[in-house]
Structure 1
Amino acid sequence: MRLLTFAARGQTRLGVEAGEWIIDLNRAARAHFVARGASRAGAQAWALLPPAMTPFLAGGSDAMAAARDVAARMQEALRDPRETARLQRDGVLWAPSEIDRLPPVPAPPKILCVGRNYAEHAREGGSEPPELPIFFGRFPHSLLAPGAPFILPRVSPQVDFEGELAAVIGSGGRDIPESRALDHVAGYTIFNDISVRDYQRRTTQWMIGKNFDRSGPLGPALVTRDEVPDPQALTLTVDVSGERMQEARTGTMIFSVAHLIAYISQALTLEPGDLVATGTPSGVGFARKPPRWLRDGDTVRVSITRLGVLETPILPDRRKGAR
């Protein structure tokens, strides 16, 4: 399944892609219970398929199975044009043009990012590949919706791109064995760890340069684990305004997705909705000669096999008084 969080009619909802339609899972479940004559259809739907991603993920395998069942039932309904029109009026079905996509997980409990997880990226920055994973944190305010523009900060011209594979935790845990770590993953999505390099390098801590407002595009969807049998067998590419900047196989990571999850769970209890951004390969802007910083009018396009494409237009800060 390709799950998404979207905004429509002033509400934030949980959906699943179904061909050329988006299905509102909570409303679809309610419609199903109403059709069966349930007396508390709304409450049943809310308990089984809540309209937000994090509580949905907390529902575990039962919620995933319910989502698949509801999606299959809706696919049957789509064969009837009159039923399709009714479901669209009721807000169960949406055309992509009618919604605004949000980050698939809009407010992860934790955003755990990994630095220097590809050997050539470490070397292009003047470092040897690390012997242990290097983690740093982001905050939910730094996430940006797929397709939404990134606004260049007034305080720095050194804005860089970093395409990454991100794993979304489904079932939490502590001290997770590496052999079972991928069982704790709900699915995968694409992340662009846009970095303000001069702020990142002002101190030994990277936090401020990695947490500018709305600097982390995420999406376009959460692709469930069953559709990505091996996260180390994907191809990641990054194009900036049509020019290929980064390309790598995820199998060339120093530390695999499973290893990262097992390692960080030695210290932190992972929770449903946690995001693990697994690092970027070589080819970033700061390492080029001359450096290739993002500028007004650029479009960054991050593509990963099976996950799709995450596009982010780059715009200037047009607020009054912006330089």
Structure 2
Amino acid sequence: MKIASFSVKSDHHIGIVQDGQIISLTALGPDDFPACMKTFIERGSELRKRAEQLIEQRGNDDAKFSLSEVKFLPPIAQPEKIICVGLNYIDHCKETGMEPPASPVIFSKYANAIVGHNDVIEIPINSKEVDFEAELAIVIGKKAKNVSEEEANDYVFGYTIMNDISARDLQFQDGQWSRGKTADTFAPIGPVVVTHDEVGDPHELAISLELNGEMMQDSNTSNLIFTVPQIISFLSQSMTLKPGDLIATGTPPGVGMGRNPKVWLKNGDRMKISIERIGTLSNHVKA
């Protein structure tokens, strides 16, 4: 199931993307489906079954929209936590000149950084070295504390795409990464959340990023150093994960700072991140 948050004119909806269109669950069952992805996630299988029933039972054309007539919103606009894993592809470690870590390298972004599909990424006035990072993001489905690796997959609702935009000059000036990682618009996500059953094995997905039509990153999640279960188990030993929390799993090689000459984002640039079985997240850059 591919689930999206979107708007038509000024109305917000949650809906299912299928067969080149989007079906609004909010329009079909407003009592069951407020336009809130976190509510959908928190109510779990109960709401998924209700969604499937509504789509099968009602062929209401007023609830169907073409993808071109809707604005995709961030699937989850206000997660409690946005957790990121750094240095999680061996080749990316090499291009940054860093040793592969012995345990996951963790940092956070804040909700101010979240934007959606086709939204603008803004270069802040205090940075001249803004970079891109294509990442698979985990969407947590239920409360998780002290979870073992063997049971970790049971806590995954689904997956989406994140572009971990990074102001490298700020990131390395500070000695810790927060200011360089969580400027406004630095966490584009979407366009959809795909449920874990439809994605299948998250460690067999092609992942790529194009900048102005040129392939910059081209890899596969099979190259992750720390797997999805390892990451969830590791984090849950320190913090309680909640429904709707986002965990970005790291980026493959090909980022701008690892190139010679280096490639920094500039006004007018356009990016497309594609992850197999999830979709394509597109954004453009504004200075």
Distance in 1 (CA, whole Å) between partners of 2:69 and 2:86 is 37
Tell me which residue corresponds to 2:258.
287
Q: Helix, strand or coil: the match of 1:109?
A: coil
Tell me the amino acid that sits aligned with residue 185 of structure 1: V
Tell me which residue corresponds to 2:240.
269
**Any conservation in 2 of the 1:18–1:71 contact (CA below 8 Å)?**
no
Distance in 2 (CA, whole Å) between partners of 1:182 and 1:68 is 23
Distance in 2 (CA, whole Å) between partners of 1:135 and 1:71 is 40
Coordinate RMSD, CA, aligned = 1.4
Distance in 2 (CA, whole Å) between partners of 1:211 and 1:21 is 33
Instruction: Give aligned-pair identity as a percent.
Output: 39
Distance in 2 (CA, whole Å) between partners of 1:178 and 1:312 is 34
Distance in 2 (CA, whole Å) between partners of 1:26 and 1:182 is 28
| Correspondence list, 1:100-115, <5 A | 100-115=71-86
Distance in 2 (CA, whole Å) between partners of 1:195 and 1:73 is 46
Tell me which residue corresponds to 1:4.
4
Tell me the amino acid that sits aligned with residue 289 of structure 1: N
Tell me which residue corresponds to 2:214.
243
Structure 1 gaps of 5+ residues are: 31-44, 78-82, 317-323
1:101-155 superposed Cα distances (whole Å, 9 cap, x missing partner)? 1111111111010000011111211110000001111111101111112122222
Tell me which residue corresponds to 2:19.
19
Tell me which residue corresponds to 1:51.
35
Tell me the amino acid that sits aligned with residue 174 of structure 1: K
| Correspondence list, 1:127-146, <5 A | 127-146=98-117
Distance in 1 (CA, whole Å) between partners of 2:144 and 2:114 is 24
Distance in 2 (CA, whole Å) between partners of 1:27 and 1:242 is 37
Tell me which residue corresponds to 2:173.
202
Tell me the amino acid that sits aligned with residue 65 of structure 1: K
**Distance apart, 1:238 and its partner CA:** 0.9
Moved over 6 A (4+): none
> What is the total number of aligned residue pairs between the two structures?
287
Distance in 1 (CA, whole Å) between partners of 2:112 and 2:64 is 29
Structure 2 gaps of 5+ residues are: none
Distance in 1 (CA, whole Å) between partners of 2:158 and 2:262 is 34
1:57-84 superposed Cα distances (whole Å, 9 cap, x missing partner)? 100111122122222334xx2xxxxx52
Q: Which moved more, 1:269-278 or 1:149-158?
A: 149-158
Higher-strand-fraction structure:
2
Q: 1:60 aligns with which of 44, 55, 71?
A: 44
Q: 1:151 aligns with which of 113, 116, 122?
A: 122
Tell me the amino acid that sits aligned with residue 55 of structure 1: T
Q: Helix, strand or coil: the match of 2:139?
A: strand
Tell me which residue corresponds to 1:73.
57
Q: Helix, strand or coil: the match of 2:257?
A: helix
**Any conservation in 2 of the 1:114–1:279 contact (CA below 8 Å)?**
yes
Greater Rg over alpha carbons, structure: 1
**Any conservation in 1 of the 2:256–2:264 contact (CA below 8 Å)?**
yes
Distance in 2 (CA, whole Å) between partners of 1:195 and 1:71 is 40
TM-score (structure 1 length as normaliser) = 0.86
